[in-house]
């Protein structure tokens, strides 16, 4: 071995973006080849790797990037791109095969799709198989891993399970919901990919990889429902739903783009299970064993905080998960999050503004539409919630963990930031954040954000139902908080001039 340098293609994708830090941890010098380096601007590992700009469809752009590379990871696909993606993938694979052989690369590692041994595969699976064959015929030893549904937030297959199950309490589904699937956790996929860099030089073949569980697709959806705190879904298999019709249905009820849904659904027409476990002869199973499906879902949902979560909710900082999704992830990845953001500039000082924020609730009220807040508190009480009567311990000061009406102080950075977690009965999880930022030239900026993670269809309908009131309640709240801070600033200034004793403005 002349070096420990690896090249990752597809570093802006789901697997590639998560593989890079694992390779860095393993001690490799990492180089990435991307068409648009700007997409890596905000990823946490960008300053630790060499970034080369290039396109697998352009052979001339590969030569410099491939120089002095020991191991090449081929993690790109053209699924979802306009035109004939099979021809695009075929051409890219041939370009890489020739360039890798010319650069005397020691090994290539490719991630393809788990598939049955049949002649008529879907276009997506057929293309994945063909790419692996091209790489294995290149003269460069290639390990072509074949995985089925990868479980992790941001994985297209997992996101389809997540969104369908979240939205639909009853699911008319194609007959492929009865097909057998062997999912694998993203952490186990990454483990095998890293380990493949040290395979013996004579290994040039495919390897099936999968988790320990085999389910029908419908069972996977209900397993997700249980981990997400939802009721199990009634699923009816309808043979009239063709792959094309099913993809239109998925596109209608989920944010998954149609051009991705069509090839994914076409690939689900077959059982997708491991046929051989030869990988075990070369690479030991991950420490602690392969990750079971239910545990993989918990990790994807950010429910487990063991310091090794590969993926989590897009707004995982709210949940306190161990790691955040990458900025390069698609917008539709992750748990659905609804937000309401309000900002107000005020000439009041940050100190004046913070005093108003920290005294919110209890006898001081919520600064907008008191009747609406009272009705919401009563409704919560009627359904067994805590209501508004808990009040607050101190009229002027808050601490972490304290009760505040039907909220609880989840985080407070005195003078700067307050986050409240809702403890009223809602079909999901809700937070309210208030931030103070000093403004240039004096004054301050008030930023108010409501965040809601809906649970199931009920959560989405709840948000839609209250949406018309946000313009009244949240906008009024932001306006009154800023105005009250300004009034207090005026009063304080006037009293300072008359040397009157300081006090609070009545509300």
Do 368 and 221 have their domain in common? no
Do 315 and 345 have their domain in common? no
Encode pLDDT of 356-373 as tens digits.
999 988 888 888 766 666
Residue 228 counted as domain residue: yes
Do 369 and 310 have their domain in common? no
Confidence of residue 316 (pLDDT cuts 50, 70, 90): very low
Cα torsion for 197, 200, 202, 205, to the nearest 10°?
Answer: -50
Do 259 and 139 have their domain in common? yes
Give whole-number Cα distances, 124 to 84, 90, 329, in Å: 11, 12, 21
Q: What is the CATH number of the domain that holds 155?
A: 3.40.50.720
Residue 331 counted as domain residue: no
Do 492 and 353 have their domain in common? yes
Q: What is the CATH number of the domain that holds 456?
A: 3.30.530.20
Domain count, the chain: 2
Encode pLDDT of 44-84 as tens digits.
899 999 999 999 999 999 999 999 999 999 999 766 555 57
Q: Which residues contact 173 (CB under 8 A, 6 or more apart)?
A: 218, 235, 236, 237, 238, 241, 246
Do 231 and 376 have their domain in common? no
CB contact at 8 A, 339 and 450: yes
CB contact at 8 A, 430 and 451: yes
Encode pLDDT of 165-190 as tens digits.
887 777 766 676 788 889 999 999 99
pLDDT for residue 27 is more than 50: yes
CA-based radius of gyration for the chain:
27
Q: What is the mean pLDDT of the chain?
A: 81
Residue 369 counted as domain residue: yes
Q: Which residues contact 379 (CB under 8 A, 6 or more apart)?
A: none
Q: What is the pLDDT of residue 300?
A: 85
Average pLDDT of span 107-121: 86
Cα torsion for 23, 24, 29, 30, to the nearest 10°?
Answer: 70
Structure tokens at 206: 């495919």
Residue 311 counted as domain residue: yes
Structure tokens at 81: 């791109």
Give whole-number Cα distances, 501 to 356, 401, 496, 504, 505, in Å: 19, 33, 8, 10, 13
pLDDT for residue 1 is more than 50: no
Question: For residue 148, how many other CB atoms are within 10 A of its CB?
Answer: 25
Encode pLDDT of 290-305 as tens digits.
999 999 998 888 754 3
Do 209 and 248 have their domain in common? yes
Do 108 and 227 have their domain in common? yes
Do 376 and 452 have their domain in common? yes
Which of 190, 466, 140 is closest to 308 using CA atoms?
190
Do 132 and 205 have their domain in common? yes
Confidence of residue 322 (pLDDT cuts 50, 70, 90): very low
Residue 324 counted as domain residue: no
Do 201 and 67 have their domain in common? yes
Domain around 441: 338-498
H helical segments located in 329-411 = 350-358, 370-382
Do 296 and 363 have their domain in common? no
Beta-bridged to residue 88, according to DSSP, are none
Question: For residue 238, how many other CB atoms are within 10 A of its CB?
Answer: 14
Structure tokens at 107: 């090994």
Structure tokens at 248: 């239109």
Give whole-number Cα distances, 79 to 13, 328, 354, in Å: 12, 17, 50
Rounded to whole angstroms, how far apart are CA atoms 167 and 151?
19
In this structure, what DSSP letter does residue 83 have?
S
Structure tokens at 195: 């380990």
DSSP sequence for 11-38: TTSHHHHHHHHHHHHTT-EEEEEES-GG
Residue 21 counted as domain residue: yes
Residue 332 counted as domain residue: no
Residue 19 counted as domain residue: yes
């Amino acid at each position: 071995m002349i070096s420990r340098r690896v090249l990752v293609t597809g570093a802006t994708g789901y697997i590639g973006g998560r593989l890079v830090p694992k390779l860095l941890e393993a001690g490799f010098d990492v180089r990435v080849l991307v068409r648009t380096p700007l997409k890596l601007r905000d990823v946490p590992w960008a300053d630790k790797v060499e970034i080369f700009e290039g396109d697998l469809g352009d052979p001339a752009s590969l030569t410099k990037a491939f120089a002095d590379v020991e191991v090449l990871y081929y993690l790109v696909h053209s699924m979802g791109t306009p035109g004939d993606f099979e021809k695009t993938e075929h051409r890219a694979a041939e370009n890489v095969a020739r360039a890798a052989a010319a650069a005397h690369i020691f090994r290539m590692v490719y991630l393809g799709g788990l598939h049955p041994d049949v002649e008529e595969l879907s276009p997506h699976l057929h293309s994945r198989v063909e790419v692996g064959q091209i790489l294995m015929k290149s003269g460069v030893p290639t390990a072509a891993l074949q995985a089925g549904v990868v479980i992790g937030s941001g994985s297209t297959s997992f996101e389809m399970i997540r969104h369908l199950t979240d939205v639909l309490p009853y699911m008319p589904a194609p007959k492929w919901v009865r097909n057998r699937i062997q999912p694998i956790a993203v952490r186990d996929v990454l483990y095998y990919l890293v380990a493949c860099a040290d395979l013996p030089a004579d290994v040039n073949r495919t390897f099936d990889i999968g988790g320990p569980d085999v389910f029908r697709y419908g069972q996977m959806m209900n397993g997700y429902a249980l981990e997400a705190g939802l009721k199990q879904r009634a699923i009816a298999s309808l043979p009239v739903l063709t792959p094309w019709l099913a993809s239109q249905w998925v596109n209608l009820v989920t944010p998954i783009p149609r051009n991705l849904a069509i090839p994914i659904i076409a690939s689900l027409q077959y059982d997708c299970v491991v046929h051989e476990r030869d990988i075990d002869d070369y690479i030991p199973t991950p420490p602690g064993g392969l990750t079971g499906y239910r545990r993989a879902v918990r990790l994807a949902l950010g429910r487990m905080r063991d310091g090794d979560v590969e993926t989590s909710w897009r707004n995982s900082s709210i949940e306190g998960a161990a790691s955040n999704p990458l900025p390069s992830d698609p917008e539709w990845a992750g748990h659905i999050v609804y937000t309401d953001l309000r900002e107000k500039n005020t000439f009041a000082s940050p100190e004046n503004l913070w005093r108003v924020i920290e005294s919110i609730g209890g006898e001081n009220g919520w600064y907008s539409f008191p009747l609406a807040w009272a009705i919401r508190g009563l409704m919560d009480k009627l359904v067994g919630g805590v209501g508004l009567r808990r009040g607050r311990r101190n009229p002027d000061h808050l601490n972490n963990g304290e009760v505040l009406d039907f909220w609880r102080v989840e985080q407070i950075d005195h003078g700067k930031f307050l986050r409240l977690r809702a403890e009223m009965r809602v079909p999901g999880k809700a937070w309210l954040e208030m931030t103070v930022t000093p403004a240039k030239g004096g004054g301050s900026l008030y930023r108010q954000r409501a965040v809601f993670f809906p649970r199931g269809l009920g959560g989405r309908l709840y948000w839609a139902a209250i949406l018309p009131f946000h313009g009244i309640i949240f906008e009024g709240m932001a306006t009154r908080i800023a105005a009250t801070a300004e009034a207090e600033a005026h009063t304080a200034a006037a009293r300072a001039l008359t040397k009157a004793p300081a006090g609070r403005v009545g509300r």
